[in-house]
Structure 1
Amino acid sequence: MDHVRETVSEVRSRIAAARSRGGHGQEVTLVAVTKTHGPDAVEAAYAAGVLDVGENKVQEAEGKMAQVAVPVRWHLIGHLQRNKARSALRFDLVHSMDSERLAAALHDEAVKAARSLDVLLQVNVSGEDSKGGVALADVPALADRLHALGTLRVRGVMTMAPFEAAEATLRTVFAGARTARVALQQAGHPAEWLSMGMSGDYEIAVEEGATHVRLGTVLFGSRT
């Protein structure tokens, strides 16, 4: 727990420095990604002042939710199958709304529950086949159609950059996410957030305007 507290302090300092360099002036939320780590990782993050926890898989997240008493905000950051859309209602923010069909499924479940749901549109800026998400060119048209799904609050964009990419590539991808966010805003969505940046590239992501960074390895060590 002491190690996590020290690491969180260092990461926050790096985020502050990157924000100063980038000139966007945005507030940055640190999302501690605890996938493959036990409930103790959630508790250690909370003890270190991190209130937001990210999980890739619904089943793993639900197991931890049942074991953890600390009042963290749960983020779903991994791919979600449409047949598990109901489970998304247990999360405070869904980062990975990666298709119009999933958006419709999330809306249907939110209607049944008589509530709204905060979501981010996952955009595949890099065009890699290995990554999910909506193509950048398709965002403006989709943004208009999402208004029909009234339970969804589209709070912004999530993207992932290629692993170990050159800095120029990272900046191009993150700039593309900003472009997608503008398209959502122009269509009338709140879209104030940019979820981008992981352990290997979060400082560049913050320089490019990230409001949420998703950090696991840098906080808790390599995953098993």
Structure 2
Amino acid sequence: MSLPEVLSRIREAELVAERPSESVRLVAVTKGRTPDEIRAHVLAHGEFALAENRGQELRDKRVELPNVEWHFIGTLQTNKLKYLRGVTLIHTLTRADHAAELARLAESWGSAPDVLLQLHNGEPQKHGVQLSEASSLYHQVSLMGLRVRGVMIMAPEGDPEGADRTFADAERLAGDLGLSELSMGMSDDFPLAIRHGATLVRVGRALFS
């Protein structure tokens, strides 16, 4: 599948969900891809946000692809937050101490990245803040001077019913907190995520297949 085909499916899903056209943004997941592959498969079709899940890889690719909106979608580690300078949006904030360190680093960077709270999806091996604790974390992070734009969640693997429930829970929580950004849906499930209000869909494999 090519990027234009993915975009077409996104627009079709918006139509089915009776949402405005272009209310959903594609975030191209580029982990493991070379700058040349990214140029050929993504940037040749227009300007799109790119997302990495490893800090060092993101840092290195920003050197070769500097005029691009970069997102971070990997697990945050305190000693690797320094690599996230210049990132527009971090999708995976789960802890107040990470927010505090980002705020500290931002003083020397000159600007702070916006953040999304990563919600736990019920799978033991996955990271995320519990839905019951998300409001508290949101208020803590906001007091640190970081802008919380919304929430992110991953659907449980191989569980369509669980995915529907997970996306609905995230949509409800974002509404309760008055947050507009919902990062939900990947290559296999983004139409369902769009039905539940996703504003950012993270697609990688489908763009490079």
User: Normalising by the residue count of structure 2, what TM-score does the alignment of the two structures yield?
Assistant: 0.92
**CA contact 2:138–2:148 (8 Å) conserved in 1:** no
Once residues 67 and 117 of structure 1 are traced to their aligned partners in structure 2, the CA distance between those partners, rounded to angstroms, is: 20
Residue 60 of structure 1, CA deviation: 1.1
Once residues 195 and 36 of structure 1 are traced to their aligned partners in structure 2, the CA distance between those partners, rounded to angstroms, is: 21
Q: Can you list the C-alpha shifts for 1:40-90, whole angstroms capped at 9, x where unaligned?
A: 122121111242111110111122222235x22111011120122222222
Q: Which of 24, 33, 37 is residue 37 of structure 1 equivalent to?
A: 33
Assess, with a 3 A threshold, how the Cα gap between structure 1 residues 65 and 91 changes in structure 2: closer, same or farther.
same
Residue 37 of structure 1, CA deviation: 1.1
Counterpart residue number, 2:205: 217
Counterpart residue number, 1:77: 73
Residue 24 of structure 1, CA deviation: 4.1
Q: Can you list the C-alpha shifts for 1:77-125, whole angstroms capped at 9, x where unaligned?
A: 111201222222221111111222211211221234342321111111x
Structure 2: state its 5+ residue gaps.
none
SS in 2 for 1:79: coil
Counterpart residue number, 1:111: 107
Residue 179 of structure 1, CA deviation: 2.1
Once residues 76 and 196 of structure 1 are traced to their aligned partners in structure 2, the CA distance between those partners, rounded to angstroms, is: 14
Counterpart residue number, 2:164: 171
SS in 2 for 1:155: strand
Residue 164 of structure 1, CA deviation: 2.3
Q: Which of 92, 98, 120 is residue 96 of structure 1 equivalent to?
A: 92
Task: Report how many aligned residue pairs link the two structures.
Answer: 207
**CA contact 2:58–2:83 (8 Å) conserved in 1:** no
User: Normalising by the residue count of structure 1, what TM-score does the alignment of the two structures yield?
Assistant: 0.86
Q: State the superposition RMSD in angstroms.
A: 1.7
Structure 2 residue 82 is matched with structure 1 residue 59: no
Once residues 127 and 133 of structure 2 are traced to their aligned partners in structure 1, the CA distance between those partners, rounded to angstroms, is: 14
Counterpart residue number, 2:44: 47
SS in 2 for 1:111: helix
**CA contact 2:89–2:113 (8 Å) conserved in 1:** yes
Structure 2 residue 200 is matched with structure 1 residue 203: no
Once residues 176 and 98 of structure 2 are traced to their aligned partners in structure 1, the CA distance between those partners, rounded to angstroms, is: 20
Once residues 93 and 148 of structure 1 are traced to their aligned partners in structure 2, the CA distance between those partners, rounded to angstroms, is: 18
Of residues 78-87 and 104-113 in structure 1, the stretch that sits farther from structure 2 once superposed is: 104-113
Once residues 183 and 8 of structure 1 are traced to their aligned partners in structure 2, the CA distance between those partners, rounded to angstroms, is: 34
SS in 1 for 2:157: coil
Once residues 142 and 80 of structure 1 are traced to their aligned partners in structure 2, the CA distance between those partners, rounded to angstroms, is: 15
Residue 142 of structure 1, CA deviation: 2.0
Q: Can you list the C-alpha shifts for 1:130-181, whole angstroms capped at 9, x where unaligned?
A: 111110111122222223211x111111111112222x22111111111221
**CA contact 1:139–1:183 (8 Å) conserved in 2:** no
Once residues 127 and 100 of structure 1 are traced to their aligned partners in structure 2, the CA distance between those partners, rounded to angstroms, is: 21
Identity across matched positions, percent: 39
Structure 1: state its 5+ residue gaps.
1-5, 186-190
